[in-house]
Structure formats: C-alpha cells, structure tokens
Amino acid sequence: MAIRNKPHDAAVFGIDLGKNLFHDCGLDAAGTPVQRATFRRETLVQFFERAAPTVVGMEACPGSQWLARKLQAIGHTVRIVPAKFVKPYIKSNKNDQIDAEAIAEAVSRPTMRFVEVKSPEQVDLQALHRVRDRLVAQRTRVICQMRAFCLEYGIAMHQGAGRFKSDFPAVLADESNDLTPAMRRLLASLFEDVRGLEARIAEVTREIEDVAATDDTARRLMTIPGIGPLAATGLLAAAGKGTQFRKGRHMAAWLGLVPREYSTGGKTTMLGISKRGSSYLRRLFVHGARSCLLHLDRTRDRLGGWLDGLQKRMHNNKAVVALAAKMARVAWVVITKPGTIYERRAPASA
C-alpha cells in the first residue's frame, strides 16, 4: 500500500506552524517547489521520520522550540527564523502554503539570521522570568488603581511600591479621612491582592535565585558589576551558550543597546539605540547599569576611570546605556569562555 504524502527528496523544507494543521513545502537545490503537503500535529513528526536528513525551517513562534527539538533528535538540521525576516519572501497573495514556501526560501539564504534552538532547561527558566514579570506588572496595576481610588477621596499616596505598602495600612486605619465604608472595604480587599502578589513574586524570585546559585555560568556572570541573579539567569535562558554571536558587540546589538543606523549616500547617520530583541532583558541590563553608575566604587574597579570620562562627555542616561552595552560585551566573554570571571582590578594609574 502506498504511503500517503511520502517525503520527496528536498534540499530544504519550510513548515508553516499552526495549532492543529501544519503546512509543509519542500524545495530542491535550485529553489523549485517539489512537494506541498498538509499535516496534523500527530502525523507531522511521522513524515519527517521517513524523510532523509535535510534542512527544515520554521518561523519563531509558540511551539517552534518544541518541534525544533523533535526534528533535531531525528537528525534534521533545524533553522528557526524571525517572522519579520520571512515577510519579504511572500509573493503576491498570502495563505498557509505560500507562507511555508516563503519560510523554505528564507532559511536557505546564506546571510539569514536565525533563532537559537533552546533546551528544555532554558525554556523552563525563561518561563519563570516571564511569570515573575507578569506578576510584577499586575502588582503595579493594582497599586496604581488603589492610589487613584484614594485620590478620589483627597488622599495622595507616595509613588513606589515600597512606600505605598508601608503607608497604606495607616491610611486604611485612619477613621478621620473621607473614605466611605464601602471604599474602605474595597481597598482592604485590594491590599490583600497586593500581599498575595508579593508572596508569589517572592516565591518565583527564590526559584530563580536558586538556579543562579547552582549554575556555574550564572555565578561567573554575577561577578560583573550591575549583573545579579535576575539578569544572569535571564541572559542564560535567552542566549544559551552564546555561540550564535561572533563577538560581544553582536550580543549588545541583539539586546538593542547599540545605535540604530540610517545611512545613505556616504553620509553616516547614527540615531538612538535600536531597542531590538527582548525588552525585558534590556530593561534588566539598563537598571543594573544605572545602579552601577550610582554605587560602583570607582577607585577600586577598572571601570571607574572609563565611567568618569563618559559622564564628562555625555548625559547620565546615555552613560547608563553605554555601560549596559559594555556589560553585555563582558557577559558574552564570560558565557563563551569557560572559567572566565570579571576581575575588578584597580586602574593602572592607581
């Protein structure tokens, strides 16, 4: 009996991912389509088990990491490409089969950039970071709502979660203010929500810190000024071994910490930072750099003289971003060279 959708000899396969249906397009070495097929989730892996080892491409989206690991285990070379890099290869109209063909064509380009395939441990760690970030955002929203309710009754609360949590119980207990009994009960209920979120944030943070304490690369990353458990584990979850970057500047550019260029006609125009990549990781690095700029003992660290000169030439905010980019470059060296740590040696002039 003939096997339905028998794999053809193809130089590259492109897969348009879906929840239940997956569209596949195979191209030969010349880029000509040789096979188009549609599979359900349970039959897709079976198709590639029968296919000869080849290059398989897909867009970066939920589910792409799982499928990439499955196909790698079978023996295929998997390339995950960002969706924005596939769009230029879509010709005329758009449907799932056209998308699959565009993916196959995009991943076959020699200068294309790809997303690294993550290990299950990286996915788990990144999930912890995303859950923590969501909980912190939820806490901020609840506190802002409570502050707005208090303003409706003429009570102005200090900004910042720390000050709010310390001041609010006194406001709630003060019977002389204008809060109505109904609003007082509602605010008390919301404050319990804040406490619940605080406990959940602390729990997830402890899990992340435990990973940082037991991972050798994370411990070495934390020797860099401005990098703590959150930034170290967040970087490892997203970048892995860092071998996808040829140099430290590429990692800084991946984090969106380098200037955006818009040059033409021989005239070089450098704009603000590109803000590409993960906004969460970039935020951790920038906050770490800001803390470092304020609290680093510059007389005992080799970054001291460089920071002093930087602050003389530019605004503090620019200096913070420049320091964050330098932290990313140093982090790349620590990740890619086993045993490397940041040495806080004194400046040569000391």
> Which pLDDT score, from 0 to 100, does residue 189 have?
96
Same domain flag for 251 and 163: no
Same domain flag for 131 and 194: yes
Structural domain contains residue 309: yes
Structural domain contains residue 242: yes
Token pair belonging to 209: 């810190």
Which of the listed residues 62, 81, 107 is the one where a domain comes to its end? 107
**HEC readout, 36-78:** EEEEEHHHHHHHHHHCCCCEEEEECCCCHHHHHHHHHHHCCEE
Structural domain contains residue 6: no
Tens of pLDDT, residues 256-303: 999 998 888 888 888 888 998 899 999 999 999 999 999 988 888 888
Three-state DSSP class for 344?
A: coil
Who contacts 317 (Cβ-Cβ below 8 Å, separation ≥6)? none
pLDDT band for position 159 (50/70/90)? Answer: confident
39 forms beta bridges with: 22
Report the 10 Å Cβ neighbour count for 85: 18
> Mean of the pLDDT values across residues 67-92?
93
Range of the domain at 82: 12-107
Which of the listed residues 74, 107, 140 is the one where a domain comes to its end? 107
Same domain flag for 129 and 87: no
- Residue 34, domain CATH: 3.30.420.40
Same domain flag for 36 and 80: yes
Report the 10 Å Cβ neighbour count for 317: 11
Same domain flag for 91 and 131: no
Same domain flag for 242 and 315: yes
- Could you write out the DSSP letters of every residue in 278-293? -HHHHHHHHHHHHHHH
Residue linked to tokens 């009996």: 1
Burial 19-34 (b: 16+ CB within 10 A, else e): eeebbbbbbeeeeebe
Same domain flag for 247 and 208: no
> Which pLDDT score, from 0 to 100, does residue 158 have?
87
- Could you write out the DSSP letters of every residue in 115-149? BPPPPHHHHHHHHHHHHHHHHHHHHHHHHHHHHHH
Tens of pLDDT, residues 206-255: 999 999 999 999 999 999 999 999 999 999 999 999 988 999 999 999 99
> Which pLDDT score, from 0 to 100, does residue 345 have?
73
Tens of pLDDT, residues 7-19: 888 999 999 998 8
Distance CA 258, CA 252 (A): 6
Distance CA 80, CA 212 (A): 28
Which of the listed residues 39, 74, 107 is the one where a domain comes to its end? 107
> Mean of the pLDDT values across residues 300-328?
92
Token pair belonging to 55: 């290059």
Structural domain contains residue 344: no
Distance of CA 278 to the CA centre of its chain: 4
> Which pLDDT score, from 0 to 100, does residue 1 have?
31
Report the 10 Å Cβ neighbour count for 84: 9
> Which pLDDT score, from 0 to 100, does residue 4 have?
58
- Could you write out the DSSP letters of every residue in 78-94? EEEE-HHHHGGG--SS-
> Which pLDDT score, from 0 to 100, does residue 6 have?
84
Tens of pLDDT, residues 226-237: 999 999 999 999
Enter the pTM of the model. 0.88
Count the domains in the chain.
Answer: 3
Distance of CA 239 to the CA centre of its chain: 9
Structural domain contains residue 47: yes
Same domain flag for 98 and 204: no
Same domain flag for 130 and 72: no
Structural domain contains residue 345: no
pLDDT, averaged across the chain: 91
- High-pLDDT (> 90) share of the chain, %: 75
pLDDT at 350 over 80: no
Give first-to-last CA distance, the chain, whole Å: 82
Question: Length of the chain, please?
Answer: 350
Please name the amino acid found at residue 82. Answer: P
pLDDT at 2 over 60: no
> Which pLDDT score, from 0 to 100, does residue 349 have?
52
Same domain flag for 230 and 210: no
Structural domain contains residue 112: no
Same domain flag for 208 and 230: no
Structural domain contains residue 3: no
Q: Is 232 within 8 Å of 212 (Cβ atoms)? A: yes
Who contacts 55 (Cβ-Cβ below 8 Å, separation ≥6)? 11, 12, 13, 76, 77, 78, 79, 107, 108
Tens of pLDDT, residues 94-151: 899 999 999 999 999 999 999 999 999 999 999 999 999 999 999 999 999 999 999 9
> Which pLDDT score, from 0 to 100, does residue 5 have?
73
Same domain flag for 210 and 234: no
Token pair belonging to 67: 């499928």
